[in-house]
Amino acid sequence: MIPNLSTFCFPTTIVFGAGAVRRLPEELAKRGIRRPLLVTDAGLARTAVFAKVAGLAPGAPVFSEVEPNPTEKNVLDGVECYRRRGCDGIVGVGGGSPLDAAKAIRLKVTHELPLADYDDLIDGGSKIRPNVPPYIAIATTAGTGSEVSRSTVITIQRTNRKTVVFSPHLIPTVALADPELTVDMPSHITAGTGLDAFTHNVEAYISRGYHPICDAVALSGAKLVWENLPRVMENPTDLEARGNMMMAAMMGAIAFQKGLGATHSLAHPLSSDAGMHHGTANAVMLPWVLEFNRSAVSERLAELAAQFGGGDIVEQVRELNARCRIPPRLRDFGIAEAALPALADKAIQDGCHQLNPRPCTREDLLELYRKAL
């Protein structure tokens, strides 16, 4: 049934293609940014990729204390650095963690409430105003699509769980999407981030709600990953496939404004509490969640399977994981059965499952962990 009233919004400005990062000086000047804060993580800060970006903003202060699962402390430390160094804009450089942290820093520069008060679960986005500094996002992975999305995921001290903050005012001012920056990614990061993009597209497509625009984007984005991620795994310098993966990641982030599902609720504690890479956790859990959802969205699952050549969608996803050398079980990552009840407690608190096509309880989520173990 078509609802009487819906609101759709796709305002992201994207400069896409090989060499796009060279537009950084022009984009800074266009937005009146004279002293940007470069936000990244410690590992990337030591690479030639980051040096290339930093060279395009000479003299810009660097904040590189973002953890793999960014925390509230990372955000507050970044805000302190922004103010102390007299910055007037932000450039986020890296994967989802630095880009999400940069969004939250941007928010807290002008918003005084605790981060927990902006939690999407309590409609915190209604408290976010447009008076945030300009933000240029430069992704060095093809996964989260944070460079175009309106959400940030931060582990909040008050709740000790990954918290989604969601607002159109968090969308980066401009994204510079340059596939050349992703060529040197280690293969396991290429796989994990690529399967994160795949999960975003798949879960967005089957999530509850009316959004035919996101549905069309998600179907195409999932197909791009299916066709291009194995190519990148076989030939890391395949720039065409790298570009297609970067586009698929952005499409996933655009699509999941419709919603995600139980896979993400299960994956968030696996990364924040058990140390798994977020995209890898999504990859391991996705087949089990698709099987769980089969009775609720069989037609949509068949449509997805058709995008990948036909067959059973669950087995197709397992095949993609295997081609990307993702171990199939949680125990392969050191997850013990004794940890599962506490992980399920966190998973049911996560808001993503609320739009899962089949409603799920804590016991359902615990059973999914057990099946994946």
The CATH H-level (homologous superfamily) assignment of domain 187-372 is Dehydroquinate synthase-like - alpha domain (1.20.1090.10)
pLDDT on residue 10: 67
User: Is the Cβ–Cβ distance between 96 and 249 less than 8 Å?
Assistant: no
Domain 14-181 sits in CATH at 3.40.50.1970
How many whole angstroms separate alpha carbon 127 and alpha carbon 119? 10
User: Is the Cβ–Cβ distance between 152 and 170 less than 8 Å?
Assistant: yes
Give the list of residues 6+ apart from residue 107 with CB closer than 8 angstroms, or none: 115, 118, 128, 132, 152, 165, 170
Q: Residues of the chain whose pLDDT is less than 50? A: none
pLDDT on residue 6: 57
Same fold, 14-181 and 187-372: no
pLDDT on residue 161: 78
pLDDT on residue 157: 80
Q: Domains of the chain: which residue ranges? A: 14-181, 187-372
pLDDT on residue 66: 95
Q: What does the DSSP assignment read for 78-137?
A: HHHHHHHTT--EEEEEESHHHHHHHHHHHHHHH--S-GGGGBGGGTGGGG--S----EEE
How many whole angstroms separate alpha carbon 369 and alpha carbon 330? 8
pTM: 0.91
pLDDT on residue 9: 62
